[in-house]
Amino acid sequence: MASQPRATPPSGAGPRNRNLLIAAAGAAIVVIALVAASLLLRGGDDDTEAAPTTGTTVSPSTLLDGIPQDRAVLGNESATVTLIQFEDLQCPICKRYQEEGFPGIVEEYVRPGKVKVRFSGLAFIGPDSEKALLHVLAAGDQGKLFQFADALYQNQGAENSGWVTDGLLERISGELGLNWQKLQKDADGPAALQQANSMASEAEQRGVPGTPWFYVQVGDGVPYQVRPGSFEIEEFRQILDDALSGS
Amino acid sequence: MRGRRELRYAAHIEATEDEAARRSALSASMVSDRALRLAVAAVALAGACVAGYLTYVHYRPAALVCTGGGGCETVQESSYADIAGLPVALLGLLAYLAVLGLLAWDTELARTLAATIALGAVGFAIYLVSVQAFVIDAWCVWCLVNDLVIVPLLAVSTVLRVVRPR
């Protein structure tokens, strides 16, 4: 005679189901509160989410005024220490570095002539990167590569959203007092492309994994990689002072 | 007479089988709860590691680099990465630590609270994935690992601990 399983009421099933209901109700309240808080109290100004297509203002920085520039190199050409920056103009972390780290380096090291900075632009994020890079390099022909890059960072839009428009480039060109026709011609010319390719080759040769990525070169020595823990000037101070003391 | 003995014998066997089944079920239930508890701990620890990493790079942006394939930096730099100045990743880290604390407490109330946190995390994860898809238009791989793998696993394991017999 086969035994049949008895249908016994599970003890405590009621309270357990009640607990599950309580948990679900509590979770619903938590979700509503978090989503509302996220929508109402979210941080930042979201300047990376909207592509600035029209009416964007460019405020030319005075940070670089009076500092010599030779195409992609900013600062005293006889400075023995060079900070090499690999960057993509669409990269939001590069924008953050430009805002938080770069000004202090310029004021403390570049303007006094102790260090020079070499811009090494990459265009791996997408078509907007390439268009932006070629125009920045073309601006270098008119002595304002760093100003043009800074203005583009100020107006950076969402990655590959088509934010690098001709209108934006022309406005920046006008604000910086550049010759727009020459800039366009140079950006489309072989020299800018060759320079961009040369920078990409150097990045590949060094194994640059992303941007921003930094190297320091002392004199004609082999550049060595540096990884600042943050973009605070203290981090760069340590790196650059070490390089200067060894130069 | 013989028939009555057979009946008694059958009844004895049935009682013994019932007892064995009851004990077996009780034992299995205890083992399963222990396994579930370990599962919750493992999932919450994994979540704490991911959320901890995302919190770290939020406060130390130099630790993050833009790469060709990922939009992690875009998501991290987005305004949706903060709520009232607190990084969302930090909220996640605190939630995982709370679940671990509740696991150590392990009362009925603690189980219910852990399930509340985990189910709430599922709802918020759905919102965060939607924001990545439709608003920011970029994907953060570590955020997706958290939202699509760790959070659902945590929800299932904590809910099972609430509904299973103890």
Please give the share of chain B, as a percent, with pLDDT higher than 90: 49
Question: What residue in B sits closest to A23 (Cα-Cα)?
Answer: B116
Q: Is the ipTM of this complex over 0.90?
A: no
Contact B67 A124 (CB under 8 A): yes
Q: What pLDDT does residue A49 have?
A: 45
More confident of the two residues A108 and A45: A108
A54 pLDDT above the threshold of 50 = no
Q: What pLDDT does residue A165 have?
A: 96
Q: What pLDDT does residue B69 have?
A: 61
More confident of the two residues A138 and A1: A138
B57 pLDDT above the threshold of 90 = no
Query: In Å, how far is A177's CA from the nearest CA of chain B?
Result: 31
Contact B84 A6 (CB under 8 A): no
Of A92-101, A122-131, B55-64, B91-100, minimum mean pLDDT range: B55-64
Helices (H), chain A: 13-41, 92-100, 102-105, 127-141, 145-154, 166-175, 180-188, 190-206, 233-245
pTM of the model as a whole: 0.71
Write out chain A residues lying below 8 Å of B63, CB-based: 229
Q: What angle do CA A31, A36, A38 make, to 5 degrees?
A: 95
Check: CB of residue B118 under 8 Å from CB of residue B150. no
Q: Render pLDDT for A15-48 as a digit per residue (tens, 0 to 9).
A: 778 889 999 999 999 999 999 999 998 865 554 4
More confident of the two residues A13 and B41: B41
Closest CA to B154 of B83, B90, B103: B103
Position of tokens 């439709």? Answer: B134
Confidence category of residue A234, pLDDT binned at 50, 70, 90: very high
Contact B162 A20 (CB under 8 A): yes
A4 pLDDT above the threshold of 80 = no
- Give, in order, the Cα–Cα distances in Å from A117 to each of A66, A103, A126: 15, 12, 25
Contact B165 A12 (CB under 8 A): yes
Question: What residue in B sits closest to A97 (Cα-Cα)?
Answer: B62
Who's near A57: CB < 8 A, 6+ residues apart?
A: none
Q: Render pLDDT for B81-106 as a digit per residue (tens, 0 to 9).
A: 999 889 999 999 999 999 999 999 98
Q: What pLDDT does residue B7 have?
A: 53
Q: Report the residue from B68, B84, B91 with minimal CB separation from A125.
A: B68
Q: Render pLDDT for A180-198 as a digit per residue (tens, 0 to 9).
A: 999 999 999 999 999 999 9
Q: What pLDDT does residue A25 have?
A: 94
CA distance A109 to A102: 10
Position of tokens 């690098």? Answer: A164
CA distance B95 to B47: 9
pLDDT (mean) for B17-29:
56
Question: What residue in A sits closest to B160 (Cα-Cα)?
Answer: A20
Q: What angle do CA A168, A190, A153 make, to 5 degrees?
A: 30
Q: What pLDDT does residue B66 have?
A: 79
Q: Which range in A13-27, A130-144, B77-91, B133-147 is most confidently predicted, on average pLDDT?
A: A130-144
- A73-76, long-range: CB < 8 A, 24+ apart: A73/A116, A73/A117, A73/A118, A73/A119, A74/A106, A74/A110, A74/A116, A74/A117, A74/A118, A74/A119, A74/A145, A74/A146, A75/A110, A75/A111, A75/A113, A75/A115, A75/A116, A75/A117, A76/A110, A76/A113, A76/A114, A76/A116
Cα-to-chain-centroid distance, residue A196: 17
Check: CB of residue B100 under 8 Å from CB of residue B44. yes
Query: In Å, how far is B37's CA from the nearest CA of chain A?
Result: 17
Please, which residues 88-127 of chain B have a Cβ atom closer than 8 Å to chain A?
Answer: 88, 91, 108, 111-113, 115-120, 122-124, 127
- Give, in order, the Cα–Cα distances in Å from A75 to each of A25, A71, A109, A113: 62, 11, 9, 6
Amino acid A9 reads P
Mean pLDDT of chain A: 89
Q: What pLDDT does residue B70 have?
A: 57
Of A162-171, A214-223, B54-63, minimum mean pLDDT range: B54-63
Contact B66 A88 (CB under 8 A): yes
Contact A93 B65 (CB under 8 A): yes
Question: What residue in A sits closest to B117 (Cα-Cα)?
Answer: A27
pLDDT (mean) for A207-231:
94
Q: Report the residue from B60, B79, B162 with minimal CB separation from A16.
A: B162
Amino acid B3 reads G
Contact A43 B83 (CB under 8 A): yes
pLDDT (mean) for A131-150:
97
- Give, in order, the Cα–Cα distances in Å from A218 to each of A67, A114, A201, A206, A232: 20, 11, 21, 17, 22
Query: In Å, how far is B67's CA from the nearest CA of chain A?
Result: 5
Beta bridge partners of A121: A87
